[in-house]
A and B are shown apart, each in its own frame.
Chain A
Amino acid sequence: MFRKSDWTDQKIEVIIANLLRIGVMSAAVIVLAGGVVFLARHGVQPARYGSFAGEPSNLTRWRGILQAALGLRARGIIQLGLLILIATPVARVAFSVAAFALERDWLYVGVAGFVLMVLLYSLLGSGL
């Protein structure tokens, strides 16, 4: 098993950095792909975003977003990329909980665990 010395803060930070990079880059690629499809299909339609209408439910709930993206709907693909982007810091905090546990730093397992709960409440509790 892991000894404490194998899991220094420095090592953990490098892993976190790479996790963040992978999350952001895959989100950017998906958003770009969705953007290309969107412009190819709707590029010449007028852009009107001055009045607020709110998004339809298939672009605000993760099930709807996933369905829309799998159905290759342009807005759904973009929204899936954005969802991955929002989930990236959440994954980072989840990883931190595990890392603090490996360091046997129970105080910070609690602190990071609380932050994770707040983030999950925001993502899921608000109806996503």
Chain B
Amino acid sequence: MNNLEFTLLVGLGSFMAGFLGALTGLGGGVVLVPLLVLVFKVDIRYAVGASLVSVIATSSGAAVAYLKDGFSNIRIGMFLEVATTLGALFGAFLAARVSTTSIGVVFGFMLLYSSYSSSKTPVEAPEDTHPDPLATRLGMNGVYPSLSGPKEYFVHRVPTGFGLMFGAGALSGLLGIGSGAVKVLAMDQAMGIPFKVSTTTSNFMIGVTAAASAGVYLSRGYIDPAIAMPVMLGVLTGSLAGAHTLIRTRTKMLRWVFGVVIAALGVEMLYGAFTGKL
């Protein structure tokens, strides 16, 4: 394969990943690294570096749509970014010290978990209308637009959410993914933040988290321009196309198919790691 063929094929695959990720809301980052490693035989460190770059592009590109609708909470986001950026630095340092096999194993389990969590219908945590003193002092409680007018919400269990966010950041720095699944766990389940607010705020945070580890990856020489170029352009155009696509009727079916693909990639990744092919 020459560079032209490589660029076109990787660009096409990245476009599909970004398109399906945006359409299903599962994010494309999680399938990118397995695609590069298993199909295109790219070294996992280069794959993670390219994926991180594309995560910044999609998060920042999509933030435009999210920020204007008034759902995202800039204070929750900024406060939790303290945890995710520190976690991301830790993950990036870890990436240089552990073997590619162990990165592959962690990645395989992460894929299986993402697939599992996407198959569940998320249940909104029961509403707690008692303000939490710490969250109140941090100015995190807010108001979001709902069908019946502006609705107040209260944030809870800040330390638990903060701890989980450190984990989400570390996974992001180690695997080059947005780790949306862990972020949702922290914000929806632990902190009791309404869905729309947590999803949009999380998307907003992903770019900053990825930038924290991308700096380390770049200076380590893990970001190769010839690989990152088609990945970044493909994922960006794919996710923009996905966000503007109006055929949303089959989203449920599509989510299911994408979930199965993610699980299959997880098994393949674990198989590759255990047979020493990564």
- On whether the beta carbons of B139 and A107 are closer than 8 Å, the reply is yes
* Interface assignment of A2: CB less than 8 Å from any CB of chain B: no
The CA-CA distance from A89 to B208 in the complex, in Å, is 5
Tell me what chain A mostly uses at the interface: helix, strand, loop, or mixed.
helix
In the complex, which range does the number of interface residues on chain A fall in?
35 or more
- On whether the beta carbons of B68 and A14 are closer than 8 Å, the reply is yes
CB distance from A62 to the nearest CB of B (A): 9
Residues of B within 8 A of A127 (CB): 219
Against B, the Cβ 8 Å flags (1 = close, 0 = not) of A1-25 are: 0000000011011101110110110
- On whether the beta carbons of B225 and A34 are closer than 8 Å, the reply is yes
CB distance from B225 to the nearest CB of A (A): 4
* Interface assignment of B94: CB less than 8 Å from any CB of chain A: no
Closest B residue to A125 by beta carbon equals B215
The CA-CA distance from A114 to B57 in the complex, in Å, is 23
- On whether the beta carbons of A13 and B67 are closer than 8 Å, the reply is yes
- On whether the beta carbons of A119 and B233 are closer than 8 Å, the reply is no
- On whether the beta carbons of A13 and B74 are closer than 8 Å, the reply is yes
The CA-CA distance from A107 to B1 in the complex, in Å, is 54
Against B, the Cβ 8 Å flags (1 = close, 0 = not) of A102-121 are: 00010110011011001101
Q: B residues bordering A, Cβ < 8 Å?
A: 1-7, 40-43, 45-46, 53, 56-57, 59-61, 63-64, 67-68, 70, 72, 74-75, 78-79, 81-82, 85-86, 88-89, 92, 138-139, 207-208, 210-216, 218-230, 232-233, 236
5 pairs across A/B with beta carbons < 8 Å? A16-B67, A31-B233, A47-B2, A60-B221, A78-B228
